Structure 1
Amino acid sequence: MAAAPVRHRSGPGGPRAQLPPCYYEGYLEKRGPKEKASKRLWTCLCGNSLYFFNNAKDTHFIEKLDLGGFVSLKDDCGRDRNLEAARLILRMKEGETKLTAPNLESRELWKGFLYSVIDLNVPSCLTLLPGQLQMLKEVVEKERSRRRTRTPTRAPPSPLSVPLVGEIPACFRPVSRTEAEVLLERHPDCGNMLLRPGRDGCSLAVTTRQDLNGSVFRHYRVTQRDQGGYVIDVENPIPCSTLHEVIDALVEKTAGTLQPFLLEEPYEENITYVTANDENGEHMLHTAPTSPLPRAPALPPKQGTLPKLLIPLSRSPAPDRRILTSPVPSSPTNPMRRLVLSPSPLTQSLNEELKMKLEKRRASED
């Protein structure tokens, strides 16, 4: 299967000379969303747009289809009057455009060029020859270079600038289409469906991976509705109130075949810090010790010192004061000394005087 030769046309200041570089061209039958019949037109993939001419020699195109509003590209298995013809359905934001290639080989090559220009990546899901894959790689490099050198009309949107409403599912990742495919392929045990920002920065996308003689990736656009909520932008749109419902709907529609991508991020096992050497200015990475810091041993109480818990809160003016003694020495098993109360000398003299008076009273009564 050979690719159609790329013709470098140079008109004397004509419109075709002002178009972006042509990557692929050939006859296609085209029927737009508002057209009732198909027209056979010479089609050129120039830059990121399809240009349609009445014939191969015309210098003025009659239609232009900007691929910036790309949604999906799939085969149309419907029958055609020409049994060798192969149909394509190119879905854009503005509607569907049906394209018919002369044969299956031509359709496969058109798909390869379209995907390469749209995604800036050589598709892996197509059956192409090594020479054709090399052509697609060259197209990807040329288109990347063209986009870098042209003057941007506005700053490209950041993936993190997607205005998310409500709670974000755990399978959301701020990655590109290619990075999403790499994640799903590297971690097949963590799930096969993740939510990510769309290319335009104003929508979202769901990327899925399944095994069918190799990795098969699918991408679904998720847009926000003006009245609130989201919609999965497929042939029969699926409205959802929240992003969690978007994921649940895809799980339900596929009978659990699709599962959210949940990758457990690793955590550091040690505490590290960077210090600078004052002499040579070099920075060094240090690992903090993980063993617990030693605690200073508690000092034993001093001899004859009363612990704070045994000090009375208020002093009584009574003359009978008690003296605290510690007849039992401290030991390793009993570091606190056992405190014993003993009567004071004043208390002993008063008791003896009372005893003598009681004896005299009893003698006089007898």
Structure 2
Amino acid sequence: MACAPAKQRAGGARAQLPPCYYEGYLEKRGAKEKVSRRLWTCLCGNTLYFFNNAKDTHYVEKLDLSGFISLVDDCSRDRNLEAARLSLRMKDGEIKLTAPNLEARELWKGFLCSVVELAVPSSLTLLPGQLHMLKEVVDKERLRRKSRSLSRAPSSPLSLPLVGEIPPCFRPVSRVEAEVLLERYPDCGNMLLRPGRDGTSLAVTTRQDLNGSVFRHYRVTQKQQGGYMIDVENPIPCATLYDVINALIEKTSGTLQPFLLEEPYEENITFVSSNDENGEKTLHCARGGLLSRGPSLPPKQGTDRWSPRHQTLPKCPSPQSLSTETPLSPMKRLTLAPSPLAQSFTEELKMKLEKRQKAGQE
């Protein structure tokens, strides 16, 4: 089936993708794959999205072209004599692509190189109308990247989108705030997961005692193929964020333990009322007693034992690995706002920063 300029479709995940410049069937075989798969392929922005068929709205795989190295013809023969092969070299490996025919291969090369290099390649055998399409794609992609960079919020350690299950030891705090938390509540764990400084990665902050507090910070990056990597001298691959925490627990023989702290909740219902005569406002505590609207619900069975609501300070969990059970549904995108707890120790942070500045001057 020949490829064709893309037409936007609505519905499902496809509607949330960047603008689609080109699409059609390609056979794809990765470096670790033994056989090729025939997938409907869409070039959306500077990423290739792969679907099982042309009607699917949710992609099964994607390939970010930011790791692009080269794209060359593969002259090896295919069972289909009309098929034309390509070799796409990326920083993390080589991918074999097969287009239905020579014309489709030239078009794919044109669109891919135009998007990656933001320039129409001059070495391709294309018609004037096809070259005009590539020029339009270059202009659209330049505009998309420019508008994306302008609309992107500045990187902040307190704002990071996460996908998947999040361990309860995650806190949306900065590096200094993480150190303060671990030092302030030493009985509630000594390892905390947080956003990284660049806003695109994560970090693990740990605290141990050695003639005083000793802090360590480990960078955790998300891999393009899925999963995470602890960036140390010998990188540690992890399938989930839970595995990141469990790996550090195991590597330290349980010396590092996840930080679990419940933020306080009110024990009574209070409300403010205003005096109609003098306008004076008074804080009241609602009366106790059971509501008489109906029977109370029975307690749920099998409650997650890692849920913070079932922990009472200062008691903290005994050393053991985290369970992957979580009340958060997987693949849910979360935008994290600053924690209310971070606001409670502003002065403590200020003193810590001033101490660091003085130490730097000395």
TM-score range normalised by the length of the shorter chain: 0.3 to 0.5
- Give the structure-2-normalised TM-score: 0.41
